[in-house]
Structure 1
Amino acid sequence: MPVTQLESWISLQIDLPRKTVLSRTALRRWQLDRLRATVDLARTHSPWYRKRLQDTVLPETEDPTVLVQALPLTTAEDIRAHGPEMLCCSQAAIERIITLESSGTSAAPKRIFFTSDDLKATKGFFQYGMRLVVGPDDKVLVLLPCQRDNDVGNLLVAALNEAGIASRAHWPPHDPEALARAVHEHEAHCLVGLPQHILALARHPRSGLAAAHLKSILLCSDYTDPCVREAIAAGLSCRVHIHYGSTESGLGAAVECKEGLGCHIRENDLLFEIIDPDTGVVLPPDTVGEIVFTTLTRTGMPLLRYRTGDIGRLKSQRCSCGSILTRLTDLQGRLDNAITFPGQGTLSLAALDQALLAQPTITSYEAAVYDPPDATPESPPRLALDLVVRPGSQRTGEDLARQALLTVPVLRQTVLAGQLTLEISTTEVPFERSHTAKRSLSDKRHLSQREYHAQRS
């Protein structure tokens, strides 16, 4: 079977001789050694981990997936409360700090710390992971933040240019018409960016201007529903790949090859598990659950069994492309992007995506449930939806959205039962979200209409 350039790079990273074909045995051995070393680093140099792991006994095993289960799980709340105490180096050794605000909540932000070695590892993954997406002569336009040297957009552009792949950044990409011109002027063969920005481009009347040279697109930084992927592929006439990653995972974690059968994991740096989100128990192979990862080479702020809150599945079978790397598949968004209506069911952001973003005139939306003014215990809450529609379709956008929403069983039942009302507004002006602000379905039932709109303004 052919060996991908990503596998060749990983072979070198785990100290295999040059031109050695990567094997699961060699990878497991590396992961086991690095996991033990990471635990030792955390115990020795991090005040928080020292206390956290004081009673942890690592079993004698040759299987890293068994060893890692002896460790306690780490949560986003742990990072919010104890981030600086999790460091395994001095603050002077930190090259970059990324602050993550919490979407749709008032929770404290998370701060993720990186050393220069951590950023160098990310850069290497960018260089070789992108070779699953682009060819050596392709031009790439990166639609990610690039204001500072170590912003993710600049890291990716620098990595690709060093690898001989002509790249530049374009940020912000909120205006789809301006983006179409930028893609055309750069003669880009590949775009890397958020699904909402590229969907707006694919559904814009000037999409043909952008599509002239495009061969591939890599969607990153947010959940992508299959209907969005299909719409982008059709609108821009090119392949669409998915990247899975987060700031916590080191900005890059797993990337899809041309086969489209899941995201190949950066297994030299990350060890993934799937757990039952309710019990924390590790699930059998090929089961959907919550994604958990452990960093294996992070020197600044290692994360042990970090609960991402994302839903997915691990596939260990060899990919059709020939790779033996474990893949992430069936990515379904976040566990906390859901609201339960007693007696009717649960509404998820994924269900809203499937209903709304399948409509060819809708390019993005924001959603929240809040209490009406002068609400009584009997007053039904309101689902507020702010829709961005393609130019020229604002008049029909609200009616189409309402019809689409009532195809979602929990919404139809809740609205018909008088337990929810819909409040829909449309605009042709795109939202200007921060790159780190994920889309969310916000439960604001403790807020009145006035408080909700004041908070958003």
Structure 2
Amino acid sequence: MSAGTPLDALAARTLGLAEGFDRADLARGQGARLRETFLWARARSRFYRARLAGCAPPRSIEDLAALPFTTAADLAADPLALVCVPQDEIDRVVTLETSGTSGRPKRLFFTAADQEITLAFFRCGLSQMVARGRNVLALLPQGRPGGLGDLLGRALRALGARVRFAEASPDDDAFRRSPPDLVVGAPVAVLDLARRTCGCTVRAVLLCSDRPPEGAARRLAAAWGCETFEDWGMTEMGYGGGVDCRAHDGRHLQEGDFLFEIVDPATGRAVPDGAFGEVILTTLTRRGMPLIRYRTGDVSRFLPGRCACGSPLRRLDRIAMRSDGRVGPHGGVTLGEIDDALFGVAGVIDVRGGFRAGTPERLRLEVVAPGAAADLETRLTAALDGVASLRAARAEGALALELAVVGGASAPARGKRCLHVDASA
């Protein structure tokens, strides 16, 4: 059996487990931390004091399902009610704009110790990709202290790597003269750079901040000969949730610091491994603003069985969609489905767009493809016909498709993208 993933040792240290722990050992360690989190939150948080009133403290992770969910609306309604420490212990506050909670932003609070949890995860995950003395190009803003770029930079420097941040697209000639060992960035930004610098040798790529389109790793390997890693995380959890190992068969989850569930979005009941549902997370070690059974809105599944690397940690499949991310007629479509269809067309580096209400509804897509061939629009339309809901809606006249191809240089998106919805007819 292989050596597992560096996250195994992190989970063991966090939960006080012996080397070579199994799922039963992990469950016992998580159960103890779950009880601690429950008691801490109920004693110190106004929100959880009310929400958990009448709930018995869990004795094991099997008791988790009896506890109520926490939602994005709760984080927006009164975020300070979830805070469990004095304000002078809060080291970072993050405000997230959202359209899903009546337009009110979510606010998240982290102590310095909470951010150390993320740093430990980043160091473990990145240790598979880069070694001391290697060069890293991060296609991200370095940002404020405690932000994603800052934490990634601190983790990389702790590993002895040299990191350079590039908010704007780097100079192609300079990249060719001295390609980095590791490139980190959002999928569309990295894919665009790989297209422009095809033939350079890059050791590894980490795709972060957004869902990678199907086949991204193959395209990057063809351009740079690199190994591609994908992470999953969200701001609510401090960015670090999971990252794949060198077997590249799902993202190993950070199960020392979080307890994860997959539930049916409609019923809230757990689904079996291999079935898709909404990802639910519970923090096990956070003290500033713990979250108990937080509904992430991300839809994915636990991959059944053990990874080829030998790790006992669960693996999360690629995020399929947001639980509220299916829009449009005939059952709707997600940006992920559109991405998977259109990024398979040679030359496409970015896709943007959205729906506009009316009869029929209109789906307008702007496809960025520098140096586009004359038949590109025909190939794009054919690719979209492979998405069943779009094909059916167009056949019935319920949907009109508008394609705009941008052939010149256009800066690709660097963060999470979405399908915009214009409700005005």
Q: Give the TM-score normalised by the residue count of structure 2.
A: 0.92
Shift of 1:317: 3.1
- Map 1:95-174 to 2 at 5 A: 95-102=91-98, 107-172=103-168
One-letter identity of the residue aligned with 1:334: R
Question: Which of 204, 210, 226 pairs up with 2:214?
Answer: 226
1:164 counterpart SS class: coil
Within the alignment, does 1:31 sit opposite 2:30 as a pair?
yes
2:78 counterpart SS class: helix
Change (3 A) 1:240 1:3: closer
- Map 1:56-455 to 2 at 5 A: 56-59=55-58, 61=59, 63-64=60-61, 66-102=62-98, 107-172=103-168, 175=169, 178=170, 180-181=172-173, 183-184=175-176, 187-204=179-196, 206-208=197-199, 211-212=200-201, 214-315=202-303, 317-341=305-329, 344-371=330-357, 379-389=359-369, 391-393=370-372, 396-427=375-406, 428-431=408-411, 433=413, 435=415, 438-444=416-422, 446-448=423-425
Shift of 1:259: 0.4
Higher mean alpha-carbon deviation, 160-169 vs 124-133, is at 160-169
Taking the aligned partners of 1:432 and 1:189, their CA distance within structure 2 comes to 22
2:81 counterpart SS class: helix
1:345 counterpart SS class: coil
Contact 2:73 2:101 in 1 (8 A): no
Match in the other structure for 1:11: 12
Deviation digits for residues 211-258 of structure 1, max 9, x if unmatched?
32x111111121123223322332232111110111112110111011
Contact 1:196 1:363 in 2 (8 A): yes
Shift of 1:402: 2.5
Determine what percentage of the aligned residue pairs are the same residue. 36
Change (3 A) 1:181 1:277: farther
Taking the aligned partners of 2:245 and 2:63, their CA distance within structure 1 comes to 30
**Unaligned residue ranges in structure 1 (runs of 5+):** 449-457
Q: Give the TM-score normalised by the residue count of structure 1.
A: 0.86
Change (3 A) 1:383 1:405: same
How many pairs are equivalent?
423
Contact 2:321 2:334 in 1 (8 A): no
One-letter identity of the residue aligned with 2:104: A
Contact 1:338 1:441 in 2 (8 A): no
Taking only aligned residues, the RMSD between alpha carbons, in angstroms, comes to 2.3
Shift of 1:348: 2.1
Contact 2:366 2:405 in 1 (8 A): yes
One-letter identity of the residue aligned with 2:285: T
**Unaligned residue ranges in structure 2 (runs of 5+):** none
Change (3 A) 1:241 1:179: farther
Taking the aligned partners of 1:101 and 1:323, their CA distance within structure 2 comes to 36
One-letter identity of the residue aligned with 1:14: L
